[in-house]
Amino acid sequence: MSATVNRDPEAMKARELALQRTLTVWIVTGLMFMLLPGTFLGVWNLISITGAHSTTLIDPAWIQAHGHAQIFGWIGSFIIGIGFYSLSKMGRLPEFAITRSWISWALWTAGVTLRWATNLWMWEWRWMLPVSAVLELLAFLLFFLTVSGHRAEPKPGSPKAGGPPVWMFAVIAGSLGFLASLSANLAVTIQAGVSGIGPAIPHGANERLLVLFTWAFPVVTIWGFSARWLPVFLGLREPAAKFLFAALGVNTLGVIAAMLGWFIPAMFAVLASSGTAAYAVRVFLPPVKAPKTIGVHPTFPLFVRFAYAWMIVAAALGVCAVFWDQAGGLWGSSRHALTVGFMSTMVFAIGQRVLPAFCGMRVLYSPKLMFWSLALLNVGCLMRVSSEIAAYESYVPAMWPLLPVSAIIEMTAVTVFAASLLLTFRQPPAHLANAAQA
């Protein structure tokens, strides 16, 4: 018999505090991966590429270490931490879910750290790469098995009480994409170790994996969170379920095509699914209610729309890349528009909206810091995407010097974002702060 949640008020309060502590640790861990092995290493790589005017002199293992830290170390930590917290709040997860969250965090942090360190220093990489992948997969399986027992508590009188809402299907699809990504990661690291070709994953396999790691996992999860939160925060109409299901289906076909090496149909599929998903969540349609911007910067809804525009740009650049890419500029700009323009902008916007409340019922430290993190991120991304195409593909070689400038701007943005959340977490909960002022 599975353990049940204790409904005693004091026990529930203690459980809530424990959940907030675990989520805070997950988020801070994600921020550390974002800043150190993620962004700072990415800036160093880009400066080196700019100096050589080529990517051929840069160890691909270093580039992959940066990407892994960003997608799995940062985004993955946020998703798992929020998943443990929100599903524990919404449903009837057992008491041991908190203990499992700590175990999952330890395995996940060790796995991502080991992967990053192995790619950089190559110590016993034929063993360490598969070990890191096993640790990451075990951490996620513990999370997946825990939350798969989630049973939402229906709201009395709710018209949707008879079945799960559409956003939950998108989150489930994103979780399955997460599982597929980690399973594929384990397979390729084992193959690299056995064959001795590494520690960098071979280019062809890595190109296919990048589609899986981005479009099947964080993109789909963000669609789910958007369907859940944007009607509340932006005052949008409820998502169009049929269109969101269609987007999920077409996107899945695109990812499968990419894994088979059929990049032309794959990129057209993700472009179609991107436009369909944007329509499904109503992000570009006029709101039906005033957005909720109390406690955050009033430009918050604008940046959410910017993010979805970046997603469509990323998909369109992917289509261009399969026909005209010669030196990696179009492929690189497509991935950057997706990971920074779409994913990072959504995390910066939604994260600073919900995480202060999730991590102890706090109020965001400074809405101005929120604005500057988002503004700098988008300026840097625009500069990076445009200059990467122009410089790498030799359309406008004079734009090479803009690449490190864009990197510094983006690094400043992520530092401001991290500072904004860390300063927020240092504040007392809102009710205690109000009581102290009374």
pLDDT at 198: 77
List the structure tokens of 217. Answer: 């996992």
Cα end-to-end span (Å), the chain: 48
The residue among 152 and 64 whose pLDDT is bigger is: 64
Domain edges within the chain: 1-121, 329-432
Q: Is the dihedral of CA 37, 38, 40, 41 positive or negative?
A: positive
Summarised one tens digit per residue, pLDDT across range 297-351 is 999 999 999 999 999 999 999 999 999 999 899 999 999 999 999 999 999 999 9
Q: What is the pTM of this model?
A: 0.92
Residue 431 has pLDDT above 60, yes or no: no
**Cβ proximity of 377 and 413 under 8 Å:** yes
What is the average pLDDT score of the chain? 89
pLDDT at 93: 59
Residue 107 has pLDDT above 90, yes or no: yes
- Under the banding of pLDDT at 50, 70 and 90, the label for residue 81 is very high
Q: Which of 349, 414, 338, 418 is nearest to 376 (CA)?
A: 414
**Cβ proximity of 305 and 226 under 8 Å:** no
pLDDT at 156: 47
**Cβ proximity of 170 and 223 under 8 Å:** yes
Residue 18 has pLDDT above 50, yes or no: yes
Summarised one tens digit per residue, pLDDT across range 230-241 is 999 999 999 999
Residue 226 has pLDDT above 80, yes or no: yes
pLDDT at 303: 97
What share of the chain in percent tops pLDDT 70?
Answer: 89
The radius of gyration computed from the CA coordinates of the chain, to the nearest angstrom, equals 21
**From 23-27, 60-64, 106-110, 249-253, the region with the lowest mean pLDDT:** 60-64
| DSSP states along 253-306 | HHHHHHHTT-HHHHHHHHHHHHHHHHHHTTTTSPPSS----TTS-TTHHHHHHH
- Under the banding of pLDDT at 50, 70 and 90, the label for residue 414 is very high
What share of the chain in percent tops pLDDT 90?
Answer: 71
From residue 1, give the alpha-carbon distance in Å to each of 4, 32, 97.
Answer: 9, 39, 15
For residue 91, the cross-strand partners are 152
d(C-alpha 293, C-alpha 179), whole Å:
34
Residue 266 has pLDDT above 50, yes or no: yes
